[in-house]
Amino acid sequence: MTAEKAPFASFDSQFQDNATVGFEISMESYTLFQRFLSSECGIRLGDNKRYLVANRLAGVCRNAGMRSLDQLINKLTAGSLSQSVVTEIVDAMTTNETFWFRDAAQFLELNDVILPELAGNRNLTVRIWSAGCSSGQEPYSISIAIDKYNRNHASNALTKVQILATDVSESILKRAISTQFSEFELCRGLDIESRSRYFSACHGGWGLDSKISSRVHFRALNLRKPYATLGHFELIFCRNVLIYFPDDLKRDILTRMARSLNPGGYLFLSSTETLPSDLGFFELVKGRPVRYFRRA
């Protein structure tokens, strides 16, 4: 979920009025689904989202051969659906709004301040976590930023870097792992120089250079679940992921992320997000012109 799992981030022309003909949801079933999504993903749906949920689940319902959304939801909450259908439901309830070098000021701060600092420790294997990586643009942007930094700072290059990219959606991770992107996706945030240097034409789109993708390793992960086994990091990107979570879950996730950061490590949220006022693990860093957080 950056880069970017966001429930109902957009409602566009793909959702036509006839998409839900015969696929209405009773209020009783909708209440059950609200509880499921909150428990499974931490996302709390308002009572006014019933029509949008029906749009999102109509296709799943058809694919699963169910007569109605009420039947689908009843089987879901009874635990009688296959894991593949449950996964499809979760995927349907999140959109993946992301693009290259999103929030460019943060990437400038990464290049000008954070990467030189990390490169100063030659014995350090720099570990970076992209939480909610969506279709891969965020972690691959980080990898491109590192390559650009190294080309411009050969005497102080980052030679040992590992980027972990996680997302709750297994289907979106498959897209990210493919390293192939459409012309439209490349137009969102990439300059001409980066396109020509790091991408080459392939069947059906554009393929990312392996020297960029080789730094990035993907893993399915629900942020509600334990992730202590991921190890520790120097830098975490968790942008536009927590904004739809309730405050108590947000505080829990950020507390556990703090424990996953090495002392002095950095956390980037989106430019519109702030930390809970009573979360004492971080110090505010005021960059140019970005604000981010350092592990105390």
* Of 16 and 45, the one with more pLDDT: 45
Token digits for 76? Answer: 């879901």
What integer pLDDT is reported at residue 96 of this predicted model? 64
The single-letter DSSP state of residue 113 is: I
> Rounded to the nearest 5 degrees, what angle is found at the Cα of 143, between the Cα atoms of 2 and 296?
65
Position with higher pLDDT, 118 vs 66: 118
User: pLDDT higher for 120 or 215?
Assistant: 215
Mean pLDDT of 109-137: 93
pTM: 0.79
**Does the pLDDT at position 15 exceed 50?**
no
SS3 51: helix
Beta bridge partners of 261: 233
Average pLDDT, the chain: 86
CA dist 273 and 237 (Å) reads 12
How does residue 228 score in pLDDT terms, banded at 50, 70 and 90? confident
Grade residue 157 by pLDDT with cuts at 50, 70 and 90: very high
d(CA 111, CA 150): 10
When pLDDT is cut at 50, 70 and 90, the band that residue 8 belongs to is very low
First to last CA, the chain: 26
pLDDT band at 241 (very low <50, low <70, confident <90, very high): confident
Band (pLDDT 50/70/90 cuts) for residue 11 is very low
Cis peptide before 289 (omega within 30 of 0): yes
Which letter does DSSP use for residue 209 in this model?
P
pLDDT of 3 above 70: no
